[in-house]
Amino acid sequence: MNVRSILLGIVLGCLPCLAWAQDAAPVASLDRSKVGVGETVTLNIEIADQTTESPDLSPLTPDFVVLGTSTNHTLSIVNGRRESRTILGIALRPRREGHLTVPPLSIGGQQTQPVSLDVVASNDTGPAAADRPVVLEGTADPTKAYVGQQIDYTLRLYFAVNLADGQLGDPSAEGAEVRRIGQDANYQAMRGGRRFNVVERHYAIFPQHAGTLEIQPPTFQGTAVDPTDANSFFGAGEPVNAVAEKLRVEVKGRPASATDGAWIPARDLKLALDGLPPDGKARVGQPITLTMRLSATGMPFEALPALSLPTLDGADVYPDKAVTGGGVSGPWVTGRRQQGFAVVPTRAGTLHIPATTLHWWNVVTDKAEVATVPAHDIVVTPGGAASAAPPANPAAKAPAADTPAPAPASAGTAATSPVPVTGDAMPWRWLFVGVLALWLLTLAAWFVFARRHRLRKPATTPADAEAPLRERAAHKRFLELAAGNDPAAIERGLLQWARAVRPSVRSLGGLSDQLRDGPQTQAIAALQRARFADGPVPGAALRDAFAKGFDWKVSPPADTAPGLPPLYPR
């Protein structure tokens, strides 16, 4: 293996790091693109975990009322690479009707992209809708779709009662793939002159066959309680349930006018090629690192085709491992695929990279479209080996007087004698030696660090050492959340703290059953009233009641049956 092959392997190994490093910009999206006057919408900003700054929210005040913020940390592993992200949620209420734009926000020295929002007059469905305390509705967009096209199934739970607990199911569709996307949106809406709390959830449905697709509706089962009776939170309430209507979507097959190849029914698609030399020049033997990127809205990354470069005359192409990922843009899934290439010119001249085309179907305009990467020409100059060759005229460079002349070569060996190594090839050798030395130094540092870490390791087990820290951190986090005005966040913080002490705790009702009657159970009841009945947030009462820890019962029941899963699963 020569030096050039080793360096080429190092370049290929660095391509995934370079590709992922370019994805650190914050991305903003809304949980809904259309809301009514008086309703709330959540602005989600996805940022890298390395960013610790908070965004400046002052640009939002002209058109929106900022109701509160929350954070959610996610950890995913894509192609064996660990990726940690943080989603910052900002609850907004529009100040007026019309087409509004969420302006860019600055965070960590970068800016988010602007996001559009349509604010329409409130939809009042009449007095019949106000007769039922709990209503479950489902809608599908579009009602006519192609095979493989995403159908946005929106599920809305309306409830005008106080719920102690509840379980909301998922829709199903035979012959289709169903995915839950995004986070639940919580807001209020008027129906029949009555104000309802609303939980909105989105699903992505991908039909696999042509024909009529039946979307089986989910169901909701819960327990309603009387907010004026604190004991009703811990006793038997009134059961409530609701079921959505069955929906049908007409699924069409691939149109005859679509070209052969991959079938990509998307709402938007972009194809780009980066890494071309800015001056349009290269040298023989020196690799050019190219990155092809494909992103599509309304398509998962699993359905996107593999990326490749056409055969290049005058260069060798070494593809790297593909990097894939996905996300959401409002109610629509987004798929991304990246492919790196190391292009090594093999001769001087003009290296022509042909145009790359990808045919796809625009489901918004219902027309075929083509994404194209234009052709490029690169001027390749001779490399170091060519410039080190001896001149054609032997008399052009005479030897010095004190230098002995080389022995004449025979006619049979003159044409095959190797070209001597000159100083132009030395940087490659020293670069290889430097890389090897750094690699050995890294191994030595890792060995020393690991040995010291083992010597300093305490005798206690990791679980024993970390458990008190987790409990104290959860307690401190809860007290910080109790100082705010977000009852959902306070409930999550209280349950996380309780589970750090007793993992069997499943809900606030289960936690209250294990506490002695007193200020703590009363504070939990007040929190549930604020959570489901728009009561005041009992922040001060919660901090005072739980400042010194939990007041557990002396003899908690040994086999208490767990309650129903929470309405908002974590």
- Establish whether domains 127-252 and 262-384 are of one fold: yes
Does residue 167 register a pLDDT over 50? yes
DSSP state of 395: G
Note the pLDDT tens digit of each residue in 292-329.
999 999 999 999 999 999 889 999 999 999 999 988 88
What mean pLDDT comes out for the span 462-486? 72
What pLDDT was estimated at residue 279?
93
- As a whole number, the mean pLDDT across the chain is 79
Does residue 404 register a pLDDT over 50? no
Does residue 118 register a pLDDT over 60? yes
Region for residue 298 given its phi and psi (left: phi exceeds 0; alpha: psi -120 to 50; beta: otherwise): left
Note the pLDDT tens digit of each residue in 346-370.
999 999 999 999 999 999 999 999 9
Q: What are the C-alpha distances in Å from 212 to residues 178, 267, 362, 425?
A: 16, 22, 22, 68
Of 133-147, 220-234, 270-284, 314-328, give the lowest mean pLDDT range.
220-234
Note the pLDDT tens digit of each residue in 475-513.
888 888 888 888 888 988 898 888 888 888 888 888 888
Note the pLDDT tens digit of each residue in 16-25.
444 444 445 7
Does residue 459 register a pLDDT over 80? no
The model's confidence at residue 173, banded by pLDDT at 50, 70 and 90, is very high
Amino acid identity for residue 463 in this structure: A
DSSP state of 356: E
pTM of the model: 0.52
What pLDDT was estimated at residue 216?
92
Give the count of alpha carbons within 13 A of 151, CB side only: 31
Q: CA–CA separation, 349 vs 256, rounded Å?
A: 44
Of 211-225, 356-370, 458-472, give the lowest mean pLDDT range.
458-472
* Strands, E assignment, 244-307: 247-252, 265-266, 268-274, 281-283, 288-297
Alpha helices in 308-425 (DSSP H): 384-387
What pLDDT was estimated at residue 401?
37
Tokens found for residue 369:
């479209």
What mean pLDDT comes out for the span 101-127? 78
Note the pLDDT tens digit of each residue in 254-292.
999 898 889 999 999 999 999 999 999 999 999 999 999
Task: Name which residue leads in pLDDT, 26 or 314.
Answer: 314
* Strands, E assignment, 105-246: 106-107, 110-111, 115-120, 134-141, 144-146, 151-159, 162-168, 172-173, 176-191, 194-207, 211-216, 219-225, 238-243
83's CB contacts (< 8 A; 6+ apart) are 20, 75, 76, 77, 325
Contact present, 250 and 168 (Cβ < 8 Å): no
Task: Name which residue leads in pLDDT, 290 or 529.
Answer: 290
Of 45-49, 286-290, 400-404, 546-550, give the lowest mean pLDDT range.
400-404
What pLDDT was estimated at residue 503?
87
Strands 247-252 and 144-146: parallel
What mean pLDDT comes out for the span 35-62? 78
Domain boundaries defined on the chain: 27-120, 127-252, 262-384, 463-545
Phi, psi of 481 (to 5 degrees): -65, -35
What pLDDT was estimated at residue 316?
93
Q: CA–CA separation, 560 vs 507, rounded Å?
A: 13
Amino acid identity for residue 29 in this structure: S
Does residue 209 register a pLDDT over 70? yes
What mean pLDDT comes out for the span 173-201? 89
Q: CA–CA separation, 516 vs 43, rounded Å?
A: 40
Name the CATH code of domain 27-120 (choices 1.10.150.20, 3.40.50.10540, 3.90.730.10, 2.60.120.570): 2.60.120.570
Q: What are the C-alpha distances in Å from 284 to residues 4, 348, 539, 553?
A: 12, 6, 70, 79
List the CATH code of the domain at 262-384.
Answer: 2.60.40
127-252: what fold? Immunoglobulin-like (2.60.40)
Q: CA–CA separation, 470 vs 453, rounded Å?
A: 22
Q: CA–CA separation, 21 vs 28, rounded Å?
A: 18
Query: Which of 140-149, 253-262, 447-456 is modeled with the greatest confidence?
Result: 140-149
Contact present, 289 and 311 (Cβ < 8 Å): no
Note the pLDDT tens digit of each residue in 381-399.
997 644 434 334 433 443 4
* Strands, E assignment, 95-133: 98-102, 106-107, 110-111, 115-120
> Tokens 């540092």, residue?
445
Cα angle value 558/563/569 (rounded, 5°) = 130
Please report, rounded to a whole number, the percentage of residues in the chain having pLDDT higher than 90: 33
Note the pLDDT tens digit of each residue in 57-112.
889 989 888 877 877 776 666 556 666 778 888 888 888 888 999 999 988 778 88
Q: CA–CA separation, 317 vs 545, rounded Å?
A: 67
What pLDDT was estimated at residue 528?
81
Cα angle value 357/363/364 (rounded, 5°) = 110
Q: What are the C-alpha distances in Å from 176 to residues 137, 238, 300, 351?
A: 20, 36, 14, 46
What mean pLDDT comes out for the span 150-162? 93
The model's confidence at residue 126, banded by pLDDT at 50, 70 and 90, is very low
Does residue 38 register a pLDDT over 80? no
Note the pLDDT tens digit of each residue in 408-435.
443 333 333 343 444 444 455 667 777 7
Angle between helices 487-501 and 462-482 (to 10 degrees): 160
The model's confidence at residue 202, banded by pLDDT at 50, 70 and 90, is very high
Q: CA–CA separation, 149 vs 208, rounded Å?
A: 9
What pLDDT was estimated at residue 405?
41
What mean pLDDT comes out for the span 183-203? 88
Contact present, 284 and 380 (Cβ < 8 Å): yes
Tokens found for residue 24:
């650190």
Query: How many residues make up the chain in this entry?
Result: 570
Phi, psi of 333 (to 5 degrees): -75, 155
